[in-house]
Each structure stands twice: as C-alpha cells, then as structure tokens.
Structure 1
C-alpha cells in the first residue's frame, strides 16, 4: 500500500432507485450510455476510475482544476441529453470533489479523501457540483466559474465539519451565473421588540450556545438558485409527421479512437445509388433500429428520409410536405443525437423515400467467420498489448473498453485505425458494427482482435507489429511461392504461425505452433535451409519488424 495526495471525484445518479423501479430495463440501458459520456470525459482530463458500484463512479485526478473541468463538462453534456426526456425520467448526476490523502491498494483508493468526496456528492444539487474548500482554493483563480460558499457542513462518518462550495452551472446563453445561497432568518427575529433582545439572549445562553449553533448550521439551507432554463424545440409544420425515436439505448454507443481522419464524401444526393431501401443493408446501426426501420420507415408514406452516422446514430421522418423538408429534418435529428453524444462525425442521408442515396455503399468487410476462437493463441486483454496504437488510443481502451459490459469487441485496421463498443445485446451485433465502422474509416477490411476480456488473434511480443500480412501481396516473397504460402497459412487454422524470408525471397514457415517463440524458430529454421540472412516478416495475421 502507498499513500498519495489526489483530487477525488465522486458521482452518482439522483433518484436512481426510483428510476429503476419505474422501468428497470430502460434505466439500465440509459445508464450504460451516460456512463460512456462520463468515462470519456474522465479519460480526457487525465482521470482514472478506481471504483464503480451500480450508478456510482469514483475517480482520481492529479489536478483539482482538471477534476472540476471534467465535472462541468459532464454535467453540461448530460443536461443536453436530458432535454429529450420528460422531467420524471431525466437521469442527472450529483458530483462531489475534494483533495485528500488516500491509500492505494490493488488499484483501489481508500481513506477520508474518498469518504469526503462521497459526502460532498450528497450535498450537491441534482445536476450540480459540490467541492471542498481545498478544491476551491486550488481552482478559484484558474477557472472562469463562480462558487457559492455554503459554509461548514456536518456529514456522516466525518468527525469534523467539511467547508463546502457549490459550483455555478452554465446558463442557456453560455454564461455562468453567480449562485445565490438562501440564508434562513432566525425564527422570531422579524417582529421582535427591542426590549426582548436581552431576554432572548439569556434564554439562548441558558439553552446552550453549542446546541443552538448546531441546529442553526445543520438547518442552513444549501440550495443554489439556478437560472431559469427554457428549451425551445422548433418544429416544421407538416401533416402528421412520424419522427424517429432516439437510437436504441440498449448498448453503449460506438466509440472510435483512430489516427485516420473522418472521411469527407461528396453529398449523397449527388451520387444516388438507386437501390431499393432494405433495412438489412444499413451499416453501423443497432439490430433493434434495423427492426424498427424495417417496419416503421419502410412502411411509412412519403415524403420521408433517413440519415445515419458512423457511430450508429439515426434520424428519420415521414409524412412531410416535400422531400427537401424530410431530408433536412432527418439530418437535423441525426446530427443532434450525435452532437449530444459528443461525437464529431457528421450524419449523412441514407435514403430518401424508399430509394437509397448513400454515396459510399457498404463498408469493406473481411470474409466470414469474423471471429475465430483458438485456445492456443488467446490471452487476457491488456490495452498496452493492442498493436499499432498510439498512447491516447491505448488510454481510451483502458478507461472505456476494459471496464465495459459484455458483449464488447475491438476491430483493428492495418493502419492502426480501430473501433470498439461495449454492452451490445449480442456478440454478432458488436462484431458487425465495429467491422463496418472500422472498415469505413480504413477503406479496407479490419479484423476483430478482442472479444470481451481476451485477445482472439495471436498478438506478437517478440517483434513489433507493422500491419496486416497477406502472403499473396507480399513483395519480399518470390512471386512463384506466394500462392503456396497463402494456401498453407489458410490451412493452418490453429496455433501460432510465422513466416521468415531470406535475401533471395525464399520463405520459411513455422505452422500450428503452441507458442510464438516456437513458431518463429521453426520459420527461421525452415528458411535457412533454402536461403541466407533469414528474418521473420510475419507472425499470425500481422507483418512484423524490429522492436
């Protein structure tokens, strides 16, 4: 165990038990979606989640400033999401932050710092943030936000009062208002004659200043007067419109962290595909939305349009006055959902009426089966072992993928592009959506490298992965032998495989080995029988080079 000073962040959902009691399935699905947002922001600001339980999240930050910035961004993002739900079904976090001395044990943090953060979270308003005096002192002159001093607060299981501050939340116009804390008036003081003051003072002294002070401070109202918030939802006048619901919240939204830029295609309407609309062919979206679109969109009357997003968001509408109105509304619906989730990817029209207008066609996919299980090559997942990723990508996997719910997968592209998700209804859906999204980014088929908690392909450690290996396309193998090598590798469906080559391009193989080292040694041994200066060029499905 070791001690350290850290900024501790504690959050949980207000009224969570009631939400679960009213609709357990819908609440759990939305919780997974909202947790994706909180986890993403925590990682963005350098935090680390060290404990979760139900709706609660505990995280540590090396900086109080970053912890408060993270909390503000989380609350603003979730406030926007909640506008889509009636007030009785809104899911809002309370957040508490303190700085304290904590003990680290097996990755978990213990101590008063953790307990105080949890108590401050309980003092926060719904959708609000409450911080300790130590945090306030650190951030007051560094962030353009304001605070309300609510004084010393008695909290459960903490022997001394905790001096706390409320953080001002942003108004609808983007400004930050100064919180106003209501101060109670002492009972009976409003109309008391002057001659009664000595008597009152004597009675108070006789009753005990300590008890009176305790009651006064514990009954001090700590609520912050929030600025009024009005949501204006402009709608287009149209005969009986049929609007799309939000993307099915049964799963955590797709997440990408890829060095590849977002594709910028030509406008879909300028290159229509002309295919008849079939829900089964729509890429990226959930299976539940496929079913919904197959029934409600396909059967709806014109004018109608459907927009989709690489991250799986959709927007559709029917019964509009004309196609232009339908296209505009569908795109706006889809983009609003994507923006609320924090993705930067743009929505595009997929269909107008029952005609597909999506410019890109289906994304490139590998041949079936997409997932092959082999106990000889499987090993526990670790974000540091995922090949070809940069450090930010590994950090995202560590904070978002590793603690995610099953079913979850990672699809990897030959240039280091990757897509992942968690909490899918089925492994098949997780696999399909990740391969489609990754393929769209990479422009070539990707592969599933991780399923839930294990790698399902051989992950080289003796040499550095540089890309995907295809023997038939390898320029270092003599042309007349490429086909034979590809055939032999295709037949070696279990264990570790390796390919070595010498100066004359003559290859050597190590097939169906029990481990990486055995495969590498066998490939080198086979190569030196036919060539000189042999070196390994492939291990499993990857090309490799020196570390």
Structure 2
C-alpha cells in the first residue's frame, strides 16, 4: 500500500433505479453508450478510473483543474445527448470532486478522500457538479468557471462538515444556471451555561403575556354586558372569479397551436379549421434536413391550409402530416411518422415537433455552427481518407466509418466535435448540403460548433501524425499561450493554408511555423521561433488540433 494526494472524481446517475425499473434493456444500452463518453473524457484528461459499480464511476486525476474541466466536458456532452429523450427518460449524472490523501491498494483507492467525493456527488444537482473548498481554491483562478458557495455541509459518515461549492453549468442559450443552495450544516449547540438564562427569559415573557390576556378579557366582558344586542352579521363577499389578468394561467390539458397555454378556467372549445396561417413558413431555418425536403416545406407544406404539423430529430429523420381532422391529430401523425422512420434505422434520437401549422414550436433553436467556408481544399495538406487515421475516435467508431462511410455514395462528409462527437451525411445532392447537415447534427450533439474533417475520399484538414491529437485548437482562448500574445497568433495563422504549428515555452511565449510544405517543417519552424523568446519549448498545436506526446 502507498499513500498519495489525488483529485478524486465520483459520479453516478440520478434516478437510476427508476430508469432500470421502467425499461431495463434500454437503460443498460444507454448506460454503456454514456460510459463510452465518460471514459473517453477521463482518459483525455489524464485521469484513471479505479472503481465502478453499476452506474457509479470513481476516477483519480493528477490535478484538480483536469478533474473539473473533465467533469464540465462530460456534463455538457451528456446534456446534449439527453436532448433526444423526454425528461422522464433522460439519464443525468451527478459529479463530486475533492482533493485528498488516499491509500492505493491493488489499483483501488481508499480513504476519506474517496468518501468525501462520493458525498459531494450526492449534494450535486442533477446534471451538476459539486466540489470541495480545496478544489475550488485550486481551480478558481485557472478556469473560467463560475461557482456558488453553499457553505459547510453535514454529510453521512464524515465527522466534520464539508465546505462545498456548486459549479454553475452552461445553459442552451450560453448563460449559466444558478445552483440551488443546499441545507447548510447546523450551527453548534448553545453552551450549557446559557440554558438557565433562556428559561428565565421565557418565564418572564410568559407572565407578561398571561397578565395582558387576563386584563384584556376582563375589559371585553365589561363592554359586552353594556352593549346593545348585535345586528345581523354580514356574509363574506364571494371571491372574484380568477382571470388571466389577475392570476397566472394554469396550463391547459389540451395542446394548442403555440407553446403558450390558455387558462384552465376557460372551457376548451371544440376545434375549428384554421384560416391560412399568418406569414410564410420559415423553411430556410429548419436544421438537419436535405435541400429536397426544404423545397417540399417551402411549397406543399407552407401552402397547406388545414391542420398540419412537421416533426424531426437531430439525426435528420422527419415526419409531416397535412389536412388532418384537428391539431392533435396532426401533431400525433407527424411525430408517429418521424419516430417510425428513426426506429427503422435504429436511431436512438427521439423525434420532436418542429412546427404546428406554420408556427415553429421547436424549443432548441439553431445548432451551433462554425464560420464559413465549412470546407476549404488545400492540395498541400489534403490526403486520401483512411478510417484508421481519423482523429479523436475510438477503434469501434473507426470501424463504423470503414463499413459505412467509405463505400457510401457521394456527396458525403464527416463532422467532428471537440469532445470526439462525430456525424456523417451520406449521398447528399451537393458537398455544401452534406457539410451543412453533418455540422448541424454534430453541433446539436456536442453543444458547440464542430469541424468538417473529411469529404468524399479525402481529409480536408491537416491530420497530424508526429504527435498525438488531443482536441481542437483555438488560439484566442488557449491557456498555454500568454494572454497578450493570443490575438497575434490568431492573426498570423490567418487563412490556415498549408501546414501550421504552434509551440510555447515555460513563459507561454509562442513560436509559429507557418504555411509549410509538410508537417515536420512546420514543427521545426515553430520550435525554432519559440526558442527566440522562451525556453523549454514544445509543440502544442498542428493545424486545427491540439497535440501532445505520443506516449
């Protein structure tokens, strides 16, 4: 056995027993899929899983910064995956992180550090992260993360309260949630010498109140004996009927044509066929779909005047219903058609209503997209597509690309997300359509903009081979580069053509190798430029990717 200090990460699923009881096979299948995501993020952050049990994961990290960054990446990735499921079937993790002295035995870790991480996980919100004060002190000035101090918390089997902080998680619109404060640990009991004083004060107050009530009753009795017989007592006026203006409306049990619900106090009228919907249906704004389907929405769907609805999911499956008997029938028919198509293709994504009539009811808005051009051809860096060389994917995903993407008809593309998410579109009418659709679906999965890596038979971005690819490179926010040099790096990288590399030294001063004819020349140029301004230089980026040692 040996002792060491480590950042301990504990995670498990909120409401896992209920999910299993409702649908065991589907829950276990999704758990395996979600665990792949978690395991990948932990490995990329230099963490190590040392124990698992059912839905629980325990991991150690060499630093608190790595642990918190990994936890945020996991929660944001899983939040995106959960968007495809109704709230009752979403699989959300709670995560707790602390720094502690632990004992390692046969690869497992034991000690208070592990126990406290598990208790912090129990304090976390569903889909949230809770950290100890020691972690907060390590991370506060190193990551652009917001925290809420929830104070000292009493937790099971830990003798002293644990001071904890909640990490504010990013919402869909880019704002940050306000964590719900947990119950703060009870204050220490009052010392024994105070009890006589408290009892004395209570007695004095009781005597005073008793005297007041006695004399008040006496005075009231005397007044009653001389008063005239009382007149009839007025009945209380009835409460006014609640109106929408005076009281928040209750949601109607029947769906309506817009997300706004009517008041429940008003009887639901029988539906009548609507007039032509006001305004044109915004077909150009619909994500995930082909141009052919967009034309259908612009023409046949938009022109239809009876009850109609359109449904889709983020994998690109759709369903539409025109000329239905009522609005509810249109909704159900569109969703049913879309879900049958998705199920036939074994897509795990659930369909949602995009429009009812010509009114868009889709809650998620447009997925995040990178700036155009989405595809940039450069003969210097392009090379033949090979599934085994695709960056940031597990071997199983590379096999799927080999079996599905390689033999598929053109136009086809693969979009990659910064967390290893990817999406392919096959047999599109044009390269632009294929790129747009794969970027939209990948962006919806990842929650951030993705990048087109391959089109048809070629990689359209430089794929480093000298160093291991670890993620996406964004010079403007890269913490390895000193802040006052980042804008200059962005400017010099410019159009990104040719092979480009970035190196930094111990002071964070960058060196650049620009528009080289090959990868090795770019790396050599970056290192040579770095040593002019800094020491202990190493390469951190090649092309659009961050890189690290090959292990």
TM-score, length basis structure 1: 0.51
Q: Match for residue 501 of structure 2?
A: 498
Aligned partners of 2:257 and 2:327 also within 8 Å:
no
**1:96-152 CA distance string (max 9 Å, x none):** xxxxxxxxxxxxxxxxxxxxxxxxxxxxxxxxxxxxxxxxxxxxxxxxxxxxxxxxx
Distance 1:387 1:260, change over 3 A: farther
Distance 1:335 1:262, change over 3 A: same
Q: Match for residue 430 of structure 1?
A: 434
Aligned partners of 2:370 and 2:450 also within 8 Å:
yes
Aligned partners of 2:257 and 2:359 also within 8 Å:
no
Q: Match for residue 395 of structure 1?
A: 399
Q: Match for residue 357 of structure 2?
A: 353
Structure 2 counterparts to residues 177-188 of structure 1, below 5 A: none
Equivalent-residue separation in structure 2 for 1:291 and 1:413 (angstroms): 29
Q: Match for residue 383 of structure 1?
A: 387
Equivalent-residue separation in structure 1 for 2:406 and 2:439 (angstroms): 19
Equivalent-residue separation in structure 1 for 2:292 and 2:257 (angstroms): 30
Q: Which of 257, 261, 264 is the aligned partner of 2:81?
A: 261
Structure 2 counterparts to residues 45-444 of structure 1, below 5 A: 261-264=81-84, 272=259, 277-444=281-448
Aligned partners of 1:273 and 1:358 also within 8 Å:
no
Q: Match for residue 522 of structure 2?
A: 519
Q: Match for residue 452 of structure 2?
A: 448
Q: Which runs of 5+ in 1 are unaligned?
A: 1-257
Equivalent-residue separation in structure 2 for 1:376 and 1:418 (angstroms): 25
Aligned partners of 2:417 and 2:442 also within 8 Å:
yes
Q: Which of 518, 533, 542 is the aligned partner of 2:536?
A: 533
Equivalent-residue separation in structure 1 for 2:438 and 2:517 (angstroms): 29
Equivalent-residue separation in structure 1 for 2:365 and 2:460 (angstroms): 29
Aligned partners of 2:511 and 2:530 also within 8 Å:
yes
Equivalent-residue separation in structure 2 for 1:475 and 1:306 (angstroms): 44
**1:5-57 CA distance string (max 9 Å, x none):** xxxxxxxxxxxxxxxxxxxxxxxxxxxxxxxxxxxxxxxxxxxxxxxxxxxxx
Q: Which runs of 5+ in 2 are unaligned?
A: 1-77, 88-254, 262-278
Distance 1:374 1:259, change over 3 A: farther
Distance 1:259 1:391, change over 3 A: farther
**1:397-440 CA distance string (max 9 Å, x none):** 01111111111111111111101122211111111110100011
Aligned partners of 1:272 and 1:356 also within 8 Å:
no
Equivalent-residue separation in structure 2 for 1:332 and 1:364 (angstroms): 27
**1:477-503 CA distance string (max 9 Å, x none):** 1110111111111x2432100000001
Q: CA deviation at 1:457?
A: 0.4
Distance 1:265 1:486, change over 3 A: farther
Which protein, 1 or 2, shows the higher relative CO under an 8 Å CA cutoff with sep ≥ 6? 1
Q: CA deviation at 1:301?
A: 1.2
Equivalent-residue separation in structure 1 for 2:457 and 2:480 (angstroms): 35
Equivalent-residue separation in structure 2 for 1:479 and 1:493 (angstroms): 21
Distance 1:546 1:506, change over 3 A: same
Distance 1:546 1:286, change over 3 A: same
Q: Which protein has the larger Cα radius of gyration, Structure 1 or Structure 2?
A: 2
Q: CA deviation at 1:302?
A: 3.0
Q: CA deviation at 1:276?
A: 6.4
Q: CA deviation at 1:322?
A: 2.1
Structure 1 residue matching 2:336: 3-state secondary structure: helix
Q: Which of 436, 455, 461 is the aligned partner of 1:457?
A: 461
Equivalent-residue separation in structure 1 for 2:84 and 2:496 (angstroms): 38
Q: CA deviation at 1:318?
A: 2.1
TM-score, length basis structure 2: 0.50
Runs (4+) of structure 1 moved beyond 6 Å? Answer: 265-271, 273-276
Structure 2 residue matching 1:261: 3-state secondary structure: helix
Equivalent-residue separation in structure 2 for 1:396 and 1:271 (angstroms): 41
Structure 1 residue matching 2:508: 3-state secondary structure: coil
Aligned partners of 2:368 and 2:448 also within 8 Å:
yes
Equivalent-residue separation in structure 2 for 1:388 and 1:493 (angstroms): 21
Aligned partners of 2:313 and 2:351 also within 8 Å:
yes
Equivalent-residue separation in structure 1 for 2:82 and 2:376 (angstroms): 29
2:513 is aligned with 1:510: yes
Equivalent-residue separation in structure 2 for 1:367 and 1:276 (angstroms): 27
**1:238-293 CA distance string (max 9 Å, x none):** xxxxxxxxxxxxxxxxxxxx997353477899994999631111111111111011
Structure 1 residue matching 2:403: 3-state secondary structure: helix
